[in-house]
Every structure is written in C-alpha cells, then in structure tokens.
Amino acid sequence: METTITQLINILLSLNRADRKKVIAGLFKELSDEERKQLYNVVTLYLIKHSRWIKIDNWMEKTFSRHFEWTPYKVAMMALNYFKLSPKMKPFMIKHAQRVKKRVNYHIKKSNTKPNKSLKCLK
C-alpha cells in the first residue's frame, strides 16, 4: 500500500500546476461534505502548523543564541506565552527547546565562538 501511495504522490507531482488544481478540485467535488470538511481541516492545520513551527523554531534559536545560559524550560514557557500556545503543549515545548539548545550549542562549538552574553539577563 505504501508504494502505491508513493507512486500516486509522484504522479501528482509530475503534473503541472493547472492539472494538479483540477485533480484536487475533482477530489473535493466527489467527497461527501463531512469528508471534505475533514480533509480541509487536515490541509489547513498542516500549513498553519508548518509555518508556525518554523517561526517558533527560529525564535527559540535566536533566544538561545542571545541568552545561552537560560534553561530550555524557561525558553519553552516564554514561547508558550509569546505564541499563545495551549498549556497542554508544555511537555512538547520543553523537549523542543532542549533540542534547539543542543543545536545552538553544536553551532557554537563548530564555529569556536562563545554565545552572546547579554547584559539584561532575566533570572
């Protein structure tokens, strides 16, 4: 089944933009209202989440590069507030902040520079 889905994706990607629009319009036309609504929700959530996570990731990376001494927990809590995320996201955000801090640490070690020391440290 997985190869069939992969083949279908490759076929769709080989079409030009106008034909892809026709395929998607035809698909939505043939679906029931409930299925259409569910598929629409999946697509929009994917697009919103993808662009939102890029913003969150960039923000965390910038924050850690400016304030490397801050803990991932602190940056995760700041991100929850700044991006108005649900408190249910707290464990995920902490884990994500840990990964971002590791990545920033790797870049610092790779470039042999020290992180920016801010005069305005919030402790």
pLDDT digits (tens, 9 = 90+) for 21-38: 999 899 889 999 899 888
Q: Is residue 56 part of a domain?
A: yes
d(CA 22, CA 51): 25
Q: Is residue 92 part of a domain?
A: yes
pLDDT digits (tens, 9 = 90+) for 39-77: 887 887 777 678 888 899 999 999 999 999 999 999 999
Q: Is residue 123 part of a domain?
A: no
Please enumerate in sequence order all residues whose Cβ is within 8 A of that of 96, keeping only pairs 6 or more positions apart, or say none.
Answer: 56, 57, 60, 76
Q: Is residue 101 part of a domain?
A: yes
Q: Quick check: 91 pLDDT over 60?
A: yes
Q: How many domains does the chain have?
A: 1
Q: Is residue 69 part of a domain?
A: yes
Instruction: Tell me the residue range of the domain where 80 lies.
Output: 48-111
